[in-house]
Structure 1
Amino acid sequence: MAFEKITDLSVTPAYGAIKRREMSLWVLPGATNAEIISLVGLPWVNIWDAAPEIDVSSLLESIDNTRRPFKVARPEQDHNNFPVSECVRIYDVKQRETDSLKQKRAIDRLKDRIEESNGLLCFVGGAQKNWDDIHLAQELADGVDIVILDAEEAPGLSDDCPKTLLWWDRGAESFANACKTMIESADDPGIVDLKDAPGVRLNSQLLEDVSKYWTFIGKAIATSPAAIDQESFDTFLNSDDDAWAAYSMGAPYRRRTACEKKPKKQDESVKEPKKVDFIHEVLERVRRLEREHLEPTEQFRQVLIFCEPGSGITTLLRQLAIELARQGFPTLLSKPFPKSFGGRSLEHFIIDAQDQWLRYQQDQGNKTGMLPCCLLVDADGETTSADQGLPRSLQALGRKILLVRALERSRGEIEEKTGTNIYALRSDIQEGELVKLGAHLKSFCEKNALASIPGEEEWRAFHEGLASLGKPPSGMPGDEAISTAPPFLIGIYPFIKERVSDNNSLEQYYYRKWAALDSDDLKEIVRILAVAGIYGLSVPFDILRRHPDLDSSALYGANKETTRMIDVFIGWSRQGHLTRDDWCLHMRHAVIGLFLSRMIDPSEGDFPFRALLPLLKGLSTKEEDLWFVGTLAYRLGRRFTHRSPPFTLETDTTLQRAARAIFNGIPNFVKEASRTIRHHQGRYHIHVLRACIHALEKPEQTTLARDDVVDIARGEFGRAKELLEMASEIRDEGEPISNVFNTLAMAHFELAKMLGTSSDEGKGRFKEALDHQERAIKNDPSNGHALRQYVDKILESVSSLDEADTDREEALDKLGKAESRLRCLSRQLSGDVQDELPTFWSLARIS
């Protein structure tokens, strides 16, 4: 048949269009006043008025005072830049016997405008007698679903229409009421459309609690608005956290080949990594998780995506979040710079959402099972997820959960990453892809009557201008720059707005914006946030207010023009209990902070610090203060790994100088309240110890005598040991004590390496290291870093044994323990490490 009878709009293709308010009405001859009166109050985008006996414009004016009719009688009166929120466009397509040939052609052209429509098209009136109009809409408007409101004549429709029509036989008033109910429910954040379960009501208190820490991707976000204005689009380009309207309308370009899928193991024969559509990959993974029948302990899945600064990870995760929500999966995205993930409130929300879905299925007599819940954590949430064990707590729920975590890493670290469910996103972009991105934005702006976008040749010049410049030197050997690739995606906003097209121009652009601020206080606030942004931090407003030489009221006393300039740099975020003290400020992007800081404080290189020292001096032991300075310590500590560039003993690197100044600038009473600070300050001294070992291994690279280097090394070990032992005695839920013991073991391993494991002192330090390693594993048997370090260090010590060594029996005992730890680690990593066991024994060189 050519039509399908419907009685419930929620189970038809019309449902999504009604929620999005993508609705158009075609009034056919034969429609009655009563039908039109019941319908005109709906949020129509366009109305085609073909009924000569009714004046739809007058009826709309008399009934709906919120939007006024905009009547289009001739094609030249129509235009694209149309304020849908204020007006209803009414095409006058009435056929009159007195119409001239020219008038008839004009009417035909107005009818052809249906070709540009999307969503839902409703016909009301005499359908069978006006089949030509319906057939025209079917032929021209492929992107619409058609509903015919005709109680009498729909069964007599022709069978030769291009596709199925929806037939509502309960009258126009009933249809209007059903639409209004759906629109009202779309505005209720507690009513969501889950997969195969539309209109499910979630627990409002749980949703309110979890929304303090997460953005729930409900109807208000996933539903595309009818239109977007220039200000909202500019907000999206400037990376504003609230620019969801642009995302739901498809403003971001979908980079289908930007992401790399990492292999399970390093494979030198593979020259080019596999390029994948990350959004498609995750959608397939969550669908597979939904289909699988699993034990409760196996229902948690985690996907890691390693990314460089400026890679567009936030945009990618937001696109993914909307796609997951539209597929019907309950989806949460971490809020910017999260202090917490909500603990029990998050767990209760997940359980409630899945239980509500299951209850709906049971009420409908449908299948049972479990709908996966999807959680997406942006790169700025890494500290929180690491410290609070988010993956572990989610796995313990025994529920179907997909966790996607973005982790910001340097290019070198990304190159080394391998394993199942690991992806990589880089900051560079090929010219062809950038041109496609520009064409997409241009098409979007033209479609929505926004300001013009640069053309193809300008985008090519933009790429050439940035690609020709490498990373600016940071000034000192051993320094590590924030970004090693041209900031193509960061530069899009200034390129589109002011045609800024190369790296030097970008730095000058942000510096000019900063210099043009009319207040020294505002300049200093932006400078502070720029430095904080480089370390991946947001700054609590309450901490900023305590700055001894700063009037923070300049932020909210600025005029409109100054506020617009400030918005280029600053974003605001809020989480937890909504009080004044919960507001935080952050740089819109770390790379922008880097550009600005290089211009303001060039002597500090890529690791500035002086702007933060007054804030550190005014710290207290309040929760937000400890969170801020603990996150700063953690971000610094991430630079003190084996893979990090070594410090020098001759001249401070910029990172070395910054770390020492920051740790010295934190008041002692604050350090005494934070295990995190003490822990990572201890890691700083271990990194200096590594510099000593490096100098002993390559004496030609230092002017210091060997004995002096050894003395420095012993002093750094002693300081690290003291700090880590102090850290272990501080009660701090934000830093697992297992991590502290693991680092304490590392300090002993490093000293043992310097002394040599053949010496008595070296053997003693190595044994102490193993004892601390055991304590780390005992406190957290699932600590993968502790398990891996235990195995690695035993392998290093055993593989260096001479065949005639008298300690071979002891070595065998160590190997047995290490094998047990390796198997524990392999179980955590989905069995991937099992393949390493033969290598383990071959390294031991024991038959």
Structure 2
Amino acid sequence: MLKLPWKQAFLDEADSLLTAELENTDDDPYVGRRGFLHVVDSDPSRIELPPRSLPIFLLGGQDGRGSTFEQQLRRMTMLEELRRSSIRQLVVISSGGDGPPLGVTELWAADFRTRLTLIDASPGVAEQLGVWLEENGSGPTPLVVSMPGMAFATSLVDAFDAAYRDERLTVRRRDGSDAISELDLSRVDDPERPLLSNYDIILARDLAVTDPDELPEDAFNAFFCGEAQDWRAFAAGLPWVRSDEAWRRLCGQLRRLDAIGSPENRVAYIMSEPGAGGTTLARHLAFSAARAGYPTLVAKDLPFTPDSLPVINFLTRAKQRSEDGLANQNAVDVQDSDASSRIYETPWLIVFDRMHWEFRDTELRRFLHQIEQAGRPVCILVVSGPIREAGFYDTSRFKLLAELHHMLDQDEAIQLGHHLNRFLRRYGKERPDWQWRSFQEAHSVRLLEGLAAFWITLSFWLQTQYDLTESIQEWVYRVFNDRVDTLALKKAVLQIAALSSERLPMPEMLFEQSINGWPLPLLLDDRRSNLSPLGLIRLSDGGDKYWALTHDILGRFLINAIFYDHGARTALGFDEAKDAEHLRFLILREVSSKPSLGEVDGISYGEEFATTVFKVDPDHGRASWVHIWRDVLSALDGMPQSLRNGSRVFRHHTAISRRRIAWLDEAAYGVLAVDRVSLLKRAVDDILYALQSIERSPGGEPDVNLYNSLANAYFDLARVRAMQDAAPEELAELRRLASDATRHAYEESPSSPYVIETHVKSLIVSAEEAGAGAAAYCIEALEIVYAAIRNDQNDLRHYALTTLADRAVSILLAGSVVANRRDEPDGPADVLVRGWLALAAPLGGRAPSSLEEVPTDVLEAVLAELDHPAGEGNPQVLRFKYQVLVTISPFDFGRQTEVLDQLIATDYRLSPQLRLEYALLLFQSMRTDEADRQFRGLRALWRETDIFGQVPERLRWLLQPGERRLRVVTGVAAYDHGHRAMARVREFARFDVPYRPQEFGVREHIPGTVFAAHVSFGHNGAFLRPVTAQPR
């Protein structure tokens, strides 16, 4: 019984035989449900257990070892673990007949309360326990099971095994021939750090087709209540989707992953107004993908930071399980084996809601890149808000599936009604057309009032909890007043509502003890069904519990209503609120000050206040608090000191908010000149503290982000001090510090678009101060700008970089090098200046948005300047020449390779992007042995760093020399290398190239088989494709 998946177990007495049996992990059937079992016989505060495990605390230690003080300390620290655990049910097995054991009485004396179940066969134990509870504190009537301990244990184990022993984690998956089968992933997850504590997986049993007439009403209601783990409504086709265009686009992306694999990993996203059905559509697409044979993970609505490593490990183990299963099948019947399935890897879909990646597009891109580096084919589906974030403009990586809005016309409302009536008819709740029209008209009116919440309104209306005679806000507040009857509960529900308005559930560790001693989570549990009209739900990650409202809009409605009820607001202690938004802030500030946010288990949640809840960043959609920025910063400074001094993330993001506030308008927001300086100095101090005094932890804030922000903070401070006529020496020192921080960031991540922008800004600032040496800085800045523009498809980033290029060109044109020009250049610097002047002069002295927009005759003139002997062998001249050549003659691979050969001969260290392009050009020039060596180095670089490399479209395929036709090569099937088919290409050097036999119309190639193929390229090298494959 002790090995069942309890949260914790405590033993007053334990002998050596019992301890030895507990420590025996052989054939433990419950490991996958609760992690490994750990016997703890010492102070648990000095032991760090895995995130999921079953600790068994020996209150008396082993063999009574230790002094009296050590024994007392051990017992008290173990009981403290229980007191802090927030358990809902305490099962006590006793045989003494004298009521609860000593440990329970000690806990009750320390105000610990929970539901109590006592197992004791002694007569009169129920009466004794009742008397004890009456004397020692409040609580519900305990459950007393009059049964010997051994009989109870046997009965419990038998019942648990009967319910769960045969449960399997089986998913539907497709193979390379599009055949769909099932794969058992039981025990694939890490038992101690389970991925599935943060993700749900759609199982094969969830996908069984259900007729609309067979969908029970509880499943219908569960769908509209937002119960995430119930897929029955999706199996019956309950979600009404206006268009299947989103599914067609997603399916197209999954099919590209089928054909090409991880190089085609992409982020597909849905833009949705709050309450317009973005989450519903995402879950519908997830279910459709799982049904089509693409295994699907759905992130739970919990506040966790997605980490690529556990995802990669899980997908890799799933791949290995699939291959092992096929190997066993081959051993049974070689004739029926499907060898292609050993090569093909089924793509996965990973689905995230808005809370996981909002305002974190850079981290999302890194997450995608790391999974691609690991070779796992994945499509990431993300729900975003109605405003597209900066990173999503990169169309090479981000693919828009749909945009959702609230407004429905009457025809759509009738279509929706007819669809839902198929289900409502079975429950005797079918609605006539006139009611659907009335709903549409009422919804349209509320949309114009700014109170639109289409799916929320629909869900309550369909459950007959709400009619359309009052607004949703009025109805929610009436339910709140009628059903939440104590001050403690009202404050708890309001805090849940405020956090839900920020799309965050409230962890139970943040609840305060209620006045009568009964834990608030248990009070909410007791009244959960009664409070369901508020949308109150409980969430769990397998261990920790959270409370939330089903939608953020419900939280705002409730807070708005409280604000307009002055009496209720005053009774709750918020009479100082100036408006509804200020009331929301006051509630959140109350939550942010809770000491538990500074404890080890609370720090990651506390960081959310710096990164999202109290973030002030108007340019990126965080403008809620700009008018009360002083109060917000005060609230952040008032959070627990251990959080502020122990979290890089917290320090960094509060510094970002201070930087943004420093540039708010003085007249509108009261940011004075003295405020700007103090804000920026504090931002610098916070970032330096994070870099110098807080150790970097896995998954924590990387140095590159901190250095990049530090550079920008110094630049901002220099600008402010320059406006205040500070001494030149002070400004020079600030710019030097900014330049040093920029250099650190650029060395860490030369491919990051944010770092590139800061680096170019630093070069331009240096040019403005350099006088006669300004040209060198401008030229380097311009080269970096146009290399970045060529490799980045983000339109917003193009605009920012072009603006910086304009500044560099302006400095260049105004410099002394231009004024003192001679007829003939006298060195590389002069050659470069002439080249950039030849480029900018025909455009009126401005920088082009990209070299592709410059007329060919202008580029030819630039190239003529760069060919002057005075620039021969200079790395900067060669880099500029390469960019111009790529623009003028993108398929003249010979000249491009020649320039890069010359560049390498100068001992210049190529950037990762140039190294990638050089390797691809070597392939195009059929210098394949050199190309393979380059790619071996690049693969190590991609594996060990977060640096990105983009394959230019012109180099995506191997082409005929001097032509744009695809080159046909001859492949000779070699062998399966690590479960991947490889072929030797006769035209290449002696190395093997991967391919997928099923693309060539066969299940497998016998070694030595000769076949024709095209060659495509990814960031890891060459890949053989059938001659029918063509560029997209």
* TM-score (ref. length: structure 2): 0.53
Deviation at 1:325, TM superposition (A): 0.9
Aligned to 1:142: none
Aligned to 1:390: 367
| 1:535 correspondence with 2:514 | no
Q: Secondary structure at the match of 2:197?
A: coil
Aligned CA distance change for structure 1 residues 414 and 687 (closer, same or farther; 3 Å): closer
Within a 5 Å distance, the mapping from 1:189-338 to structure 2 comes to 189-190=169-170, 192-195=172-175, 196-206=179-189, 209-225=194-210, 227-256=214-243, 277-292=245-260, 298-338=263-303
Aligned CA distance change for structure 1 residues 213 and 617 (closer, same or farther; 3 Å): closer
| 1:807 correspondence with 2:780 | no
Distance in 1 between residues matched to 2:430 and 2:763, nearest whole Å: 60
Equivalent residues of 1:330, 1:374 under 8 A apart: yes
- Alignment match of 1:425 (pick from 403, 407, 425): 403
Distance in 2 between residues matched to 1:548 and 1:723, nearest whole Å: 37
Deviation at 1:318, TM superposition (A): 0.9
Distance in 1 between residues matched to 2:614 and 2:705, nearest whole Å: 12
| 1:599 correspondence with 2:566 | no
Equivalent residues of 1:213, 1:340 under 8 A apart: no
Aligned CA distance change for structure 1 residues 528 and 541 (closer, same or farther; 3 Å): same
Distance in 2 between residues matched to 1:279 and 1:218, nearest whole Å: 20
Deviation at 1:814, TM superposition (A): 4.5
Within a 5 Å distance, the mapping from 1:103-502 to structure 2 comes to 188-190=168-170, 192-195=172-175, 196-206=179-189, 209-225=194-210, 227-256=214-243, 277-292=245-260, 298-341=263-306, 344-358=309-323, 363=330, 364-367=337-340, 368-382=343-357, 389-408=366-385, 411=387, 417=393, 419-420=395-396, 421-423=398-400, 425-431=403-409, 432-446=411-425, 449-469=426-446, 486-498=452-464, 500=466
Q: Secondary structure at the match of 1:206?
A: coil
Aligned CA distance change for structure 1 residues 191 and 744 (closer, same or farther; 3 Å): closer
Aligned CA distance change for structure 1 residues 242 and 374 (closer, same or farther; 3 Å): closer
Q: Secondary structure at the match of 2:380?
A: strand
Could you say which structure has the greater relative contact order, defined with CA pairs below 8 angstroms and 6 or more residues apart? Answer: 1
Aligned to 1:265: none
Q: Secondary structure at the match of 2:285?
A: helix
Deviation at 1:548, TM superposition (A): 7.3
Equivalent residues of 1:517, 1:523 under 8 A apart: no
Aligned to 2:550: 588
Deviation at 1:405, TM superposition (A): 2.5
Aligned CA distance change for structure 1 residues 329 and 657 (closer, same or farther; 3 Å): same
Aligned to 2:787: 823
Structure 2 letter corresponding to 1:710: A
Aligned CA distance change for structure 1 residues 393 and 320 (closer, same or farther; 3 Å): same
Equivalent residues of 2:707, 2:744 under 8 A apart: yes
Equivalent residues of 1:197, 1:361 under 8 A apart: no
Deviation at 1:611, TM superposition (A): 2.6
Aligned CA distance change for structure 1 residues 745 and 838 (closer, same or farther; 3 Å): closer
Aligned to 2:674: 711
RMSD over aligned CA atoms reads: 3.9
Distance in 1 between residues matched to 2:247 and 2:188, nearest whole Å: 31
- Alignment match of 2:643 (pick from 643, 647, 670): 670
Distance in 2 between residues matched to 1:744 and 1:377, nearest whole Å: 31
Aligned CA distance change for structure 1 residues 343 and 819 (closer, same or farther; 3 Å): same
1:557-592 CA-partner distances (Å, limit 9, x unpaired): 4697762324633222222xx33xx11122211111
Structure 2 letter corresponding to 1:533: S
Q: Secondary structure at the match of 2:456?
A: coil
Distance in 2 between residues matched to 1:248 and 1:405, nearest whole Å: 22
Deviation at 1:825, TM superposition (A): 7.4
1:479-518 CA-partner distances (Å, limit 9, x unpaired): xxxxx67221222112323475779711011111111124
| 1:787 correspondence with 2:756 | yes
Deviation at 1:361, TM superposition (A): 6.3
Equivalent residues of 1:191, 1:199 under 8 A apart: yes
Count of aligned pairs: 604
Single out whichever of 231-240 and 824-833 deviates more from structure 2.
Answer: 824-833
Aligned CA distance change for structure 1 residues 492 and 646 (closer, same or farther; 3 Å): closer
Within a 5 Å distance, the mapping from 1:674-693 to structure 2 comes to 674-691=647-664
Aligned CA distance change for structure 1 residues 590 and 830 (closer, same or farther; 3 Å): closer
Equivalent residues of 2:199, 2:299 under 8 A apart: yes
Distance in 2 between residues matched to 1:223 and 1:452, nearest whole Å: 26
| 1:516 correspondence with 2:482 | yes
Structure 2 letter corresponding to 1:601: F
1:606-636 CA-partner distances (Å, limit 9, x unpaired): 3613334444232254343112111122114
Equivalent residues of 1:681, 1:720 under 8 A apart: yes
Within a 5 Å distance, the mapping from 1:746-765 to structure 2 comes to 746-756=712-722, 760=728, 761-762=730-731, 764-765=733-734
Q: Secondary structure at the match of 1:429?
A: coil
Aligned CA distance change for structure 1 residues 191 and 351 (closer, same or farther; 3 Å): same
Q: Secondary structure at the match of 1:394?
A: helix
In structure 1, the gaps of 5 or more residues are: 1-183, 258-276, 473-483
1:759-806 CA-partner distances (Å, limit 9, x unpaired): 8355553443333233233334454333344446767998xx7xxx97
Aligned CA distance change for structure 1 residues 663 and 564 (closer, same or farther; 3 Å): same
Distance in 2 between residues matched to 1:767 and 1:753, nearest whole Å: 13
Single out whichever of 376-385 and 238-247 deviates more from structure 2.
Answer: 376-385
Structure 1 letter corresponding to 2:508: F
Equivalent residues of 1:637, 1:683 under 8 A apart: no
Deviation at 1:672, TM superposition (A): 0.9
Structure 2 letter corresponding to 1:719: R
Percent identity, please: 18
Distance in 1 between residues matched to 2:595 and 2:804, nearest whole Å: 51
1:429-462 CA-partner distances (Å, limit 9, x unpaired): 332434433332122322xx12424443333333
Aligned to 2:705: 739
Equivalent residues of 1:236, 1:246 under 8 A apart: yes
Distance in 1 between residues matched to 2:507 and 2:204, nearest whole Å: 31
* TM-score (ref. length: structure 1): 0.63
Aligned to 1:720: 683
Single out whichever of 630-639 and 521-530 deviates more from structure 2.
Answer: 630-639
Structure 2 letter corresponding to 1:283: C
Structure 2 letter corresponding to 1:531: A
Distance in 1 between residues matched to 2:558 and 2:273, nearest whole Å: 19
Single out whichever of 195-204 and 636-645 deviates more from structure 2.
Answer: 636-645
Distance in 2 between residues matched to 1:669 and 1:838, nearest whole Å: 43
Equivalent residues of 2:170, 2:186 under 8 A apart: yes
Structure 2 letter corresponding to 1:436: Q
Distance in 2 between residues matched to 1:413 and 1:442, nearest whole Å: 38
Structure 2 letter corresponding to 1:820: I
Q: Secondary structure at the match of 1:311?
A: coil
Equivalent residues of 1:232, 1:243 under 8 A apart: yes
Q: Secondary structure at the match of 1:374?
A: strand
| 1:659 correspondence with 2:632 | yes
Q: Secondary structure at the match of 1:619?
A: helix
Structure 1 letter corresponding to 2:348: C
